[in-house]
Structure 1
Amino acid sequence: MDIFEAIILAIIEGITEYLPVSSTGHMIITSSFFGIAQEDFTKLFTIVIQLGTILSVVVLYFKRFFQSIDFYYKLLVAFIPAVVFGLLFSNLIDSLLESPLVVAFSLVVGGLILLRVDDLFGNSENTDISYATAFKIGLFQCLAMIPGVSRSGASIVGGMTQKLSRTAAAEFSFFLALPTMLGATLKKSYDYYNAGFTLTSEQINLLIIGNVVGFIVALFAIKTFIGYLSKHGFKIFGYYRIVVGIAIIIIHYFISPLTVI
């Protein structure tokens, strides 16, 4: 991985992490086109740069982090399913991460769901999150272990099925990203270290650059997304996912098989 590839991946992470379009799916496809998806450092990079996007949530919602202890308990309850499913199905998840076609089909299916979610669940103004609601959102978030599903998309839709408003569901999804993404980063870093890999000074610099770029881009992406979502809903993201997913399938079957991962 060179600095250009690192910056492009970080920009994609910053834009897509909190949008319902699947950041993991986009980075799998992008790194496949770059021909670096097989590299162990690439797999570490795409996880570790999530720290930058995590920090963007902390900065934007700084005052909200001083809520009651009850708020943190609800985040913990929502986080538990990801821990359990992640430990139980880690090998399956890793194998799915190696398939651009899984990403493509997930993008299309998720896009079809987003086309309907506003009509089915988009009329609520409720902002109150119970423990039961938090847990159910956490279960929905686990669907994002399938590449292309979108962690934010799954958890936001999960919140809306529990009669939360679009904005409330989106903001809780942002907060839930913190323990989820931090946990994934720590686990991936531990696995990398435990396997005997050591980072070069150049790789450390790429991680720093990736986190900085991801942080800056995510700041703008989150603010833009919340403003757009409250006014227009999810349909544009549904259409986008379908177009991208179909494009990947066409490229794979009719132009050049995506087998570089």
Structure 2
Amino acid sequence: MAEQLLQAALLGIVEGLTEFIPVSSTGHLILVIEILGFAGPPGRVFEVAIQLGAILAVCLIYFGRLWRVTMGLGGGDPRAWRFVLAILLGFLPAAVLGVLLHGFIKAVLFHPTVVCVALILGGIAILVIERFLSHPRYHEIERFPASLALKIGLFQSIAMIPGVSRSGATILGALLMGVDRRTAAEFSFFLAIPTMLGATVLDLYKNWEHLNTDDALLIGVGFVTAFLAAAVVVRTLVDFVGRYGFAPFGWYRIALGSLMLAFLYL
């Protein structure tokens, strides 16, 4: 059990470090689990549930902004309502498709080869989009048209393929739609809250009868380490991409996907 707890802590750190950067946290977890031989809770519950630790980091770091939005809703602030509408519309496609395709995704797509190919293709996409990025038109989430938020949400739903990256698909979709880098990264943070909460609730509901006390302990350890690692990333990512863009993540994805394919098949 001690070895499993150490593995759970390591996987939590991996989740926290990768959830909000465009490299696919789910893809990393699948690959690391394959390497470690981690035997955790059934139905991939562990990989999804510990993402709540990363989401909690966003909620705490952006608590002030989220609180102002909440108060603004009660006071009829139109900017607060536009913010919430953008998040809800961005969340909608993943919510619908997640419920419809949940079984297929878990049974067929959660495979290391799928992850490696998606990492490489996603890395190439990042480099191409960064190279030909047009001048941004949107600099505030509160000014997103409803159609823009919905289109970004459609991009996010592509991340149901492990290795694509939820944050990566969301950010790249936003960049293509004319959102500046910093705002694209922040929108990805906020959009993660309902998306990952919904995914976790669905997974726990479908696997609840198979879970036991040991599973809860493993999830708890992964949750805490994911929270701590994500807090570091969330505090630094916006400034990093504002200075260097997303190209470093593209090169990283290509290198990791290629190395893991070699590891799996050579």
TM > 0.5 fold call: yes
State yes or no: 1:56 paired with 2:85.
no
Q: RMSD over aligned Cα, in angstroms?
A: 1.5
TM-score, normalised relative to structure 1 = 0.91
One-letter amino acid of the structure 2 residue matched with residue 119 of structure 1: R
- 219, 229, 242: which one aligns with 1:217: 229
**Counterpart Cα distance in 1 of 2:96 and 2:211:** 29
SS in 2 for 1:121: coil
Question: 1:248 matched to which residue of 2?
Answer: 260
State yes or no: 1:153 paired with 2:168.
yes
1:132 CA drift (Å): 0.8
**Counterpart Cα distance in 2 of 1:24 and 1:197:** 22
Question: 2:190 matched to which residue of 1?
Answer: 175
Equivalent residue runs for 1:36-115 within 5 Å:
36=38, 39-41=40-42, 43-65=44-66, 66-67=68-69, 68-115=80-127
SS in 1 for 2:132: helix
Equivalent residue runs for 1:23-42 within 5 Å:
23-36=25-38, 39-41=40-42
**Counterpart Cα distance in 2 of 1:184 and 1:42:** 12
1:122 CA drift (Å): 5.6
User: What do residues 33-63 of structure 1 show as CA deviations (whole Å, max 9, x unaligned)?
Assistant: 11136x5447111111111111111111112
CA separation of 1:26 and 1:70: change in aligned 2, threshold 3 A: same
**Structure 1 runs not aligned, ≥5 long:** 255-261
One-letter amino acid of the structure 2 residue matched with residue 173 of structure 1: S
Question: 2:150 matched to which residue of 1?
Answer: 135
SS in 1 for 2:260: helix
State yes or no: 1:184 paired with 2:199.
yes
1:121 CA drift (Å): 2.2
Conserved 8 A contact 1:122-1:166: no
**Structure 2 runs not aligned, ≥5 long:** 70-79
1:95 CA drift (Å): 2.5
CA separation of 1:216 and 1:40: change in aligned 2, threshold 3 A: closer
Question: 1:207 matched to which residue of 2?
Answer: 219
Question: 2:74 matched to which residue of 1?
Answer: none
Question: 1:16 matched to which residue of 2?
Answer: 18
One-letter amino acid of the structure 1 residue matched with residue 179 of structure 2: L
User: What do residues 193-227 of structure 1 show as CA deviations (whole Å, max 9, x unaligned)?
Assistant: 1xx21321x33222222111111110111122211
One-letter amino acid of the structure 2 residue matched with residue 199 of structure 1: N
SS in 2 for 1:114: helix
More displaced 10-residue stretch of structure 1: 174-183 or 221-230: 221-230
More displaced 10-residue stretch of structure 1: 175-184 or 71-80: 71-80
One-letter amino acid of the structure 2 residue matched with residue 154 of structure 1: A
Conserved 8 A contact 1:106-1:148: yes
**Counterpart Cα distance in 1 of 2:256 and 2:211:** 36
User: What do residues 137-167 of structure 1 show as CA deviations (whole Å, max 9, x unaligned)?
Assistant: 1000001000100000000011111101001
* Same amino acid, percent of matched pairs: 40
For these two proteins, the number of residue pairs brought into alignment is: 250
User: What do residues 162-187 of structure 1 show as CA deviations (whole Å, max 9, x unaligned)?
Assistant: 10100101100110000000000000
SS in 2 for 1:89: helix
One-letter amino acid of the structure 1 residue matched with residue 49 of structure 2: V
More displaced 10-residue stretch of structure 1: 74-83 or 178-187: 74-83
> Would you identify which runs of 4 or more consecutive aligned residues in structure 1 move more than 4 Å?
none
